[in-house]
Amino acid sequence: MKLHVHIEQDEAGYFVAEIPALPGCLSQGKTKEEAIENIREAIQGWLEVMESKQGYLEEELLEVVV
């Protein structure tokens, strides 16, 4: 899966990473590299939580590539 990551430095000097396609999925780090590592973990957690909230039966799901 490929996702766009928006990273900017805040007033305190931390790098804040956000995934626009995943509402509320964000993280930070003291360095850009740390922020990227942390956002990867945040993405995995976000996807796990959202998947657990789904109440769909397997035969009701369809995968679409765009």
pLDDT digits (tens, 9 = 90+) for 7-17: 999 999 999 99
The answer as to whether 64 is a domain residue is: no
Upper half-sphere CA count for residue 25 (Cβ side, 13 Å): 23
Can you give the pLDDT at residue 52? 84
Number of domains in the chain: 1
The answer as to whether 24 is a domain residue is: yes
8 bridge partner residues: 16
Give the domain extent around 21.
6-52
Reported as a pLDDT band with limits 50, 70 and 90, residue 63 is confident
The answer as to whether 35 is a domain residue is: yes
What is the pTM for the complete model shown? 0.77
The percent of residues above 70 in pLDDT, for the chain, comes to 95
Helix and strand totals (H; E) in the chain: 1, 3
Mean pLDDT in residue range 33-50: 96
